[in-house]
Amino acid sequence: MPIIVNLDVMLAKRKMQLTELSGKIGITMSNLSILKTGKAKAIRFSTLEMICEILECQPADILEYVPEKESAK
């Protein structure tokens, strides 16, 4: 999928664990793992809003568009 989720990058920048984020936004670890590994098919605005609020970032910091050819490389 050409949309890359950079949640792990932002977590590393904020020195935060996935479990901590999970507890703060009230989303299960398994669902956050699905999001982090790029297996998710969609993300709700409410989820994105909570992640941005906790990580103090913009949606563009978490989501990135990489064309298929580039992502294949």
Partner 1 sequence: MRGQKTFTITSKFVGIIFYLVILTCVINVVIRTYRLFEGDANLAGTWHQDPLSFDVMSFGHLNPSTQFPYRYSEGKLAALRQPPDHYQLLVGHRSPIGYYDYFLSILLTGAVLYGMWELRSIFRSISIKEPFAASNARRIRNIGLLLIGVDIVKIINYIIFDFMANKYFSGAELLIQIGNGIWVGSLLLALSVVYRRGVEIYSDNQLTI
The footprint of partner 1 on residues 9-28 (CB under 8 A) is 27
Q: Toward partner 1, which CB reaches closer, 44 or 73?
A: 44
The CA distance from 10 to 26, in Å, is: 18
Contact string (CB under 8 A) for partner 1, positions 31-70, x = contact = xx-xx---xxxxxx--x-----------------------
> Which residues, in sequence order, are CB contacts of 33 under 8 Å at separation 6+?
18
Phi-psi region of 26 (alpha: psi -120 to 50; beta: other; left: phi over 0): left
Nearest distance, CB of residue 73 and partner 1, angstroms: 26
Q: Toward partner 1, which CB reaches closer, 44 or 69?
A: 44
Cβ atoms of residues 10 and 61 within 8 Å: yes
Residues that bind partner 1 (CB under 8 A): 27, 31-32, 34-35, 39-44, 47
